[in-house]
Amino acid sequence: MYDNPVIGGFHPDPSVCRVGEDYYLACSSFEYFPGVPIFHSRDLVHWRQIGNALDRPSQLHLPAETTASGGVYAPTIRHHDGRFHLVTTNVSGRGTFLVTADRPEGPWSDPIWIDLPGIDPDLAWDEEGSCWCTTSGNQVARIDPAEGKVLEGPYPIWSGTGGKYPEAPHLYRVDGWWYLLMSEGGTERGHAVSIARARSPRGPYEPGPVNPILTHRGTDRPVQSTGHADLVQAADGSWWMVLLGTRPRGFTPEFQVLGRETFLIPVRWEDGWPVAGPVEERHCAPAAWHPLPETPARDDFDAEALAPYWISPRSRPDDCWSLTERPGWLTLHATGPTLDRPGHTFVGRRQQHHDCRVTTRLDPGSGRAGLSVRMDEAHHYDLEVSDGRVRVIARIGPLRQCVAERAVPPGPLTLAIDVRTHDVLPPTATGPVTEPLGVSGRGPDTLSFSAGGVLLAQLDGRYLSTEVATGFTGRVIGMYVTEGSAGFDWFDYERPAT
């Protein structure tokens, strides 16, 4: 058995390629820097992030006016002629571009810009070595990947069965046919995967006999919004599909808080067409693929550089953070006075489980700093320390409110945020328990905020969901400073025992 999702949390639009017995996967990153996380696996189930394709300002420029859910959309990763190629679109910048690398960990090249409209670009090479780039719309063009020049086309090709937003096109050459895998119906509950084929990349394409080949729309399955898929053939000849999906929870219309996640399903071929789905939260697979036990993800900030899973909205200037000013600590310097507008200092990681616990040891000094659970500038919950007091602050749309406050002693303080799908007290909570503020039991989860082992407040998680905040991302939990400087001794993310 293996458990889905194989990469939990805000890791949407997965694209995968195989090199020998190794698999490499890339995901969208939107307004976050560094951009496009790169993962490695030997079995398609156990994935480890090995870097980010866009980790330099020369590769990824996200100006301050970049909106939430702007930035980098839908990469495709491929390996050709001994080199890795990754193509994607910066919708807040110049558009579609290509980067290359000898090793998937990087360094990746500076952008090679491609003058093609649309998003969700794909790369495929024919038997003559020509490179074909397909984009949403759907259209295909022959390009020079070394210079980004369009050599032929673009040609209009099959745009699906009539569902809205035909997108995520991928081309594959299999047994003399060119297969066009694409998604339609929108990336919400109506998402679906469809297929067509042709003898040439230019077309004409004939649709598959049964479309869509995968969708969960109109079902009560726990995994929803299934789409934006990519195919890969394993070394043993079997075929697999990676795709995005969501796991909404709570009372109707249900709320998804983790964002769109990466799922894995087997694919079989019948009469020359791929057959896939449905997506289960647990799938049968060879015994060797059984997931290993999960361990807490703790960072003591003893390394020379930040781990690749740490991300920041839009940019992370070198002068706003340091691992050397105070060895063994992450020191953050304020670059903006509030989390409610772009330009602040925030270093976080994706929330990857519905139930989790985050703790950190904060030395606020004379600054204003803390932990935040973030969807965007207008939707976040903060556990903040300044002036000898700790506060729980809720920002929900146009409203900003301090919902709890108490005095704390000077010096380092342990902060904790517990996220639970059932109303239970965090294990360190002491003192009297009051009725949770705004918690009705109909939301997807409850967030509990503690400082020094004392419970301060509990908040309803539905206000930090895609259905409320809108957009394409999920929750990111991290450390911030909005005045002066502050130090973080460690950061611990763990999934509680069930």
Report the catalytic residues.
13, 167
Burial profile 299-333: b = 16 or more Cβ within 10 angstroms, e = fewer: bebeeeebebbbbbbbbbeeebbbbeeeeebbbbb
Q: Count other Cβ atoms within 10 Å, centred on residue 221.
A: 16
Cis upstream peptide for 37 (omega within 30°): no
Give the amino acid at 458. Q
Are 79 and 86 a contacting pair, CB within 8 Å? no
Q: Compute CA 269 distance to the chain's CA centroid, rounded to the nearest angstrom.
A: 30
Which tokens is 72 given? 């980098």
Contacts of 29 (CB under 8 A, 6+ apart): 35, 36, 37, 52, 54, 71, 72, 311
Residues facing 488 on adjacent strands: 330, 362
What is the distance between the terminal CA atoms of the chain, rounded to a whole angstrom?
A: 19
Query: 425 burial class (0-12, 13-18, 19+ CB within 10 angstroms)?
Result: middle
Question: Residue type for 279, please?
Answer: V
Q: Which of 153, 156, 211, 155 is nearest to 182 (CA)?
A: 211
Tokens 């999934």 appear where?
495
Question: Which residue spans within 55-157 are E strands per DSSP?
Answer: 72-80, 83-90, 95-101, 112-113, 122-125, 131-135, 139-144, 149-156
Q: Give dist(CA 136, CA 355) in Å, integer.
A: 36
Alpha-carbon distance of 379 to 356, in angstroms, equals: 19
Query: Does residue 493 sit in helix, strand or coil?
Result: strand
Backbone angles phi, psi at 466, to 5 degrees: -65, -35
β-strand pairing of 177-184 with 282-283: unpaired
3-class secondary-structure state, position 211: coil
**3-state class percentages of the chain: helix first, strand second, coil last, to nearest 5:** 5, 50, 50
Entry field: residues in the chain: 498
